[in-house]
Amino acid sequence: MEGIFGNLAIGFIEVFKLQPVTMWGMTLQHVPFNILMCLIGCLLGTLIGVLPGIGPVATIAMLLPVTFNLSPIAALIMLAGIYYGAQYGGSTTAILVNIPGESSSVVTCLDGYQMARQGRAGPALATAAIGSFFAGCVSTLVVAMFAPPLAEVALKFGPAEYFSLMVLGLVAAVVLAHGSIIKAIAMVILGLLLGLVGTDVNSGVLRFAFGISELADGIGFVTVAMGMFGICEIIANLEQKEHREIFTSSVGKLMPSKEDWKRMWKPILRGTFLGSALGILPGGGALLASFGAYTLEKKVSKYSHEFGKGAIEGVAAPESANNAGAQTSFIPLLTLGIPSNAVMALMIGAMMIQGIAPGPQVMTERPQLFWGMIASMWVGNLMLVILNLPMIGMWIKLLTVPYRYLYPSILLFMAIGVFSISNQPFDCFLMACFGLLGYVCVKLGCEPAPMILGFILGPLMEENLRRAMLLSRGDPWVFISPSKPISMGFLIAAVALLAIIAAPALRKKREEVFVEET
């Protein structure tokens, strides 16, 4: 424990260090440069988080050359700030206009937007910010205290374990829906099928690409999410001949009530825990964490009938989870030198350019860098909550902007965002197609959330299933063999969940839960 405080002290000293800075030929003494970089990162992150479709990967890539002239620590502090800042900002758009600002805030749309419709946009935004802050603080501490042992846990997850986890996730996906269960299953399967498009990892064969080279790498997640949620929402809104629902007149209070506090602290705790755990695993991170937390909350909450209709738990849990996941996804990077997602891969690039080989030796060879970065995450989270809470009032003003001005700008930003990922106009057309598909689905009473989850999990599941089978030389028992207790545990949990969903005795109760919103 004492070691930890000593290390954190090194980190905080590094973050708050005053240093001379030369800019435009002027040299200033005693500038808190690292903390300034943290602030810039957080601000930028919030901004790109709010803008739908524009994500941290494109932003960090564009900023990489700028960081070459900074010290390694300042560069990494800023880049990390962009990443977790984006997780904060992403919920704002989701809550206010029902369009995920960031891919990990897809589930926040479900209940956050409903809260806004009920005139509770303020509490929803505050809940997201507070949940994110709490989760950020706790998970930063987790990173500081348990990074090396947790990295060992991450290594325990091989193809078989991943596959079983995905099976559990897929079964849980059905729970995400609040309408008909058959339709939910159909949407999950549709998502799985869409996930198959692209080059097969094992054989290199191109599937369902119809000779379109832009589909060779599959359909982008952002494209699907922006289409199914963003464009679809805009079409649905424009459909109304009268005015778009105006909920600005009843904006109400900005801060959560006592009742809200009482209802949100447990989901925040659970979300933080789940997010921290899933964030460590390479591949999923923040995105899976938010879906997982929402599903869990819907199962355990006594307000589960309110989910999808503006339950505060449905905002608190996923927002805490995605921020916790964003922080703990630094663990494999810092301790093993293995990136768990595209942003972390960029961070590795930034480190290597600076001459730092990422990996376990960073902690011992460059303690200032390692602990400075961890301390900066905590400071950054504090900055973000201070920045975001007063901004809530300003964001809500956005709702008073007439929709005829608001929606073209949202469309524009979504198109820019989707285009910026691979600079392909094709992706924008694809987004529009998914918008239409989303609209048809809404008309048919099918919800997009289970489809999105199927779309994320499908390719991962297939890849890991086939890799596990390849490694076991075709022996299917590898998933439930006693030598793989983690995998076996997940599969048992999946079967149990399936039984709960399917059991006749419980069906009646379930129908109450899943009753169609009319």
* Gap between the Cα atoms of 386 and 291, Å rounded: 26
Question: Which single residue is written with the structure tokens 């963003």?
Answer: 230
Q: Which stretch binds other proteins (CB under 8 A): 25-33, 135-143, 188-196, 335-343?
A: 335-343
Pull the structure tokens for residue 489: 């545990």
Instruction: List, in order, residues 6 or more apart from 47 with CB less than 8 Å away.
Output: 89
Return the number of the residue (15 or 415) whose C-beta is nearest other proteins. 415
Within 61-90, the residues that bind other proteins by CB under 8 A are 61-62, 64-65, 68
* Gap between the Cα atoms of 261 and 243, Å rounded: 33
Return the number of the residue (314 or 459) whose C-beta is nearest other proteins. 459
179 binds other proteins (CB under 8 A): no
**Residue among 322, 315, 394, 391 nearest 127 (CA):** 315
**Residue among 6, 363, 365, 467 nearest 151 (CA):** 363
Within 407-466, the residues that bind other proteins by CB under 8 A are 421-424, 463
- Which residue of 123, 191, 279, 282 would you call a contact of other proteins, by CB under 8 A? 282
195 binds other proteins (CB under 8 A): no
Phi and psi of 311, rounded to 5°? -80, 130
Considering the complex, what minimum distance in angstroms separates the CB of residue 478 from other proteins? 11
214 binds other proteins (CB under 8 A): yes
- 294, 341, 418, 408: CA torsion to nearest 10: 40
Considering the complex, what minimum distance in angstroms separates the CB of residue 282 from other proteins? 6
Considering the complex, what minimum distance in angstroms separates the CB of residue 243 from other proteins? 41
358 binds other proteins (CB under 8 A): yes
Pull the structure tokens for residue 140: 């930063």
Instruction: List, in order, residues 6 or more apart from 246 with CB less than 8 Å away.
Output: none
156 binds other proteins (CB under 8 A): yes
Total interface residues for other proteins by CB under 8 A: 54
Q: Which stretch binds other proteins (CB under 8 A): 56-64, 253-261, 298-306, 314-322?
A: 56-64
What residue type is 350 in one-letter code?
A: A
Looking at the DSSP assignment, which residues form a beta bridge with residue 27? 22
- Which residue of 171, 176, 277, 338 would you call a contact of other proteins, by CB under 8 A? 338
SS3 annotation, 185-233: HHHHHHHHHHHHCEECCCCCCEECCCCCHHHCCCCCHHHHHHHHHHHHH
- Which residue of 274, 312, 336, 379 would you call a contact of other proteins, by CB under 8 A? 336
361 binds other proteins (CB under 8 A): yes
394 binds other proteins (CB under 8 A): no
- Which residue of 4, 18, 28, 155 would you call a contact of other proteins, by CB under 8 A? 155
Return the number of the residue (352 or 515) whose C-beta is nearest other proteins. 352
- Which residue of 13, 182, 213, 506 would you call a contact of other proteins, by CB under 8 A? 213
* Gap between the Cα atoms of 378 and 131, Å rounded: 14
- Which residue of 119, 349, 367, 489 would you call a contact of other proteins, by CB under 8 A? 349
Tell me the DSSP string of 10-77: HHHHHHT--EEEEETTEEEEEE-HHHHHHHHHHHHHHHHHHSTT--HHHHHHHHHHHHTTS-HHHHHH
481 binds other proteins (CB under 8 A): no
Considering the complex, what minimum distance in angstroms separates the CB of residue 428 from other proteins? 15
- Which residue of 58, 142, 197, 453 would you call a contact of other proteins, by CB under 8 A? 58
Return the number of the residue (292 or 332) whose C-beta is nearest other proteins. 332
208 binds other proteins (CB under 8 A): no
Helix ranges (H only) for 51-199 are 56-67, 72-97, 108-117, 121-156, 159-176, 181-196
Q: How many CA atoms lie within 13 A of 243 on its CB side?
A: 7
Binding stretches for other proteins (CB under 8 A): 57-58, 60-62, 64-65, 68, 154-156, 158-159, 199, 201-206, 209, 213-214, 216-217, 282-283, 332, 336-339, 342, 345-346, 349, 352-355, 357-361, 421-424, 463, 467, 470-471, 473
